[in-house]
Amino acid sequence: MNEAPTTEQAARTIKATRVSLTILEELKTRDGATLSELATDLSPSKSTLHCHLGTLLDEGYVIKENGEYVLSLKSLDLGGYACERKNGYKSGQENVDKLARQTHQPVQFVVAENGWASYLYQKAERVHEVPTRVGFTTHLHCTAAGKAILANLSEETVRKIVAERGLPAYTDRTITTRDELFDELESIRSDDIAFDVSERWDGIQCVAKPVRTADGEILGSISISAQREMVTEEQFKETYPAKLANSASVISINASYESIYPD
């Protein structure tokens, strides 16, 4: 797992690069925007934003549609490469698809990177009902998938992540104190399964199983999410955990093989 950046690393940043990245994030959030709209909410001057947008246009990371700047598909190549180089991605993809067909629920393969939970792959029959997408990033403490990963990290690493990323509340059920989190992680280690009931999104509950290599190193987690009214307690507490355990085992075996015999 990549560790969270240190204070010294955070200090060594280039302001111009940060402005360009902020513009890209803003265009994603807004689903496109004009220069004037960006200038309203971002701190750089309009002329500075125009220069950054011009560079992003020249490099192909932004295009113009109907008078607005929007993200291009060029970033897809970078994201696709980043996903494919992760150990377990291929097997995780296959097993996520299989589990989604079996349960008719959204299934995700999640990894930790730089102290965040990153959604490496997901499958859902009803895409509009899923609040995440491939590449979605969130805190680790607020989802079953993230907690399943945290429970397999050292206490020192978890404390560092909490210090760097915090424990913000997304709903009134989110864990927001370190003591509560460590109690929860101890329970997850004991049962080797993690749950969250509307801790990240109201009305959505998730169950997750950690995925490890053959030598016990944490790769990530595989999770099933569902709207609370769409599943029974038996499914959530028994059926889904059993299916996740099987999928996690298969991913682990295949990932170990892939690391020894890469394509």
Question: What CATH number did the domain enclosing 42 receive?
Answer: 1.10.10.10
Confidence of residue 81 (pLDDT cuts 50, 70, 90): confident
- pTM of structure: 0.82
Position 94 scores a pLDDT of 92
**pLDDT average, residue stretch 23-32:** 92
Q: Do 160 and 41 share a domain, yes or no?
A: no
Q: Do 23 and 124 share a domain, yes or no?
A: no
**pLDDT average, residue stretch 235-257:** 91
116-172, pLDDT tens digit by residue? Answer: 999 999 999 876 667 888 889 999 999 999 999 999 999 999 999 999 999 999 999
Q: Do 83 and 52 share a domain, yes or no?
A: no
Contact 131, 225 (CB under 8 A): no
Q: Do 53 and 103 share a domain, yes or no?
A: no
Q: Is the pLDDT of residue 7 over 80?
A: no
Q: Is the pLDDT of residue 12 over 60?
A: no
For residue 218, what is the domain's CATH number?
A: 3.30.450.40
Q: Do 127 and 247 share a domain, yes or no?
A: yes
2 domain-assigned: no
Q: Do 111 and 205 share a domain, yes or no?
A: yes
- Among 55, 72, 89, give the residue marking a domain's end: 72
Print the domain residue range for 68.
Answer: 7-72
Q: Do 116 and 136 share a domain, yes or no?
A: yes
